[in-house]
Amino acid sequence: MIYPIVMYGDPVLRQKAKEIEKGTDLTQLIEDMYETMHTAQGIGLAAPQIGKSIRLFVVDGTVLEKEEGMEDFKKAFINPVLVEEVGQPWEFEEGCLSIPNIRENVSRKAQVRIRYFDENWNQKEESFDGMKARIIQHEYDHIEGKLFIDYLSPLKKKLLKGKLTDISKGEVDTEYRIAVATKR
């Protein structure tokens, strides 16, 4: 099932998402999230973006053919905990399926260490760097109620205000189905 993607302005994107009870069968949901993400040509999708305030996100960097080491970077992260973020911060132009047609530079630390459960409820702790770390940081922010535009300067935010208001009303062009707060 392909979910519509929740747009900026919806309160669910600002909530701190809830822990998922250990052992919950998430097979169908995770499959649906991959399908929804792939349809929207995204490389990461967090549960709040389909209207579910739970601590789960999926990533798939395998579509980034030019990025090295992405071959196996297709994963679900359940109840993740960011153990540490270290390294030299670097800037990269980020986008978000919930904030279509806006891309801005965001500075993030280079490496993350994350503890999480995989789709079989096996606990893992791994380190990631480069683009993998960035995708994880962006998606982890989503389950904390944070968005990449929160990192922008007040001036940048002011310049984007009109566009963001349009997005929150659903007045935006996308190739995928969207859901806005007022009509949800």
Name the residues annotated as catalytic.
Answer: 139
Please state, in angstroms and rounded to a whole number, the distance separating the CA atoms of residues 161 and 89. Answer: 27
Q: Select from 96, 112, 114, 167 the one that contacts Ni ion (CB under 5 A).
A: 96
Can you give the C-alpha Rg of the chain in angstroms?
Answer: 16
Please state, in angstroms and rounded to a whole number, the distance separating the CA atoms of residues 134 and 131. Answer: 5
Please state, in angstroms and rounded to a whole number, the distance separating the CA atoms of residues 107 and 96. Answer: 15
**Options 88-96, 110-118, 124-132, 158-166: segment touching Ni ion (CB under 5 A):** 88-96
**Options 65-73, 96-104, 160-168, 176-184: segment touching Ni ion (CB under 5 A):** 96-104
Q: What is the DSSP string of 2-16?
A: PPPEEPTT-GGGGSP
Size of the site for Ni ion (CB under 5 A): 1
CB of 96 to Ni ion, least distance (A): 3
Query: According to the binding rule CB under 5 A, does residue 17 interact with Ni ion?
Result: no
CB of 124 to Ni ion, least distance (A): 22
Please state, in angstroms and rounded to a whole number, the distance separating the CA atoms of residues 114 and 104. Answer: 25
Query: According to the binding rule CB under 5 A, does residue 133 interact with Ni ion?
Result: no
Query: According to the binding rule CB under 5 A, does residue 78 interact with Ni ion?
Result: no
Query: According to the binding rule CB under 5 A, does residue 167 interact with Ni ion?
Result: no
Sign of CA dihedral 140, 145, 149, 154: negative
- Residues in the site for Ni ion, rule: CB under 5 A? 96
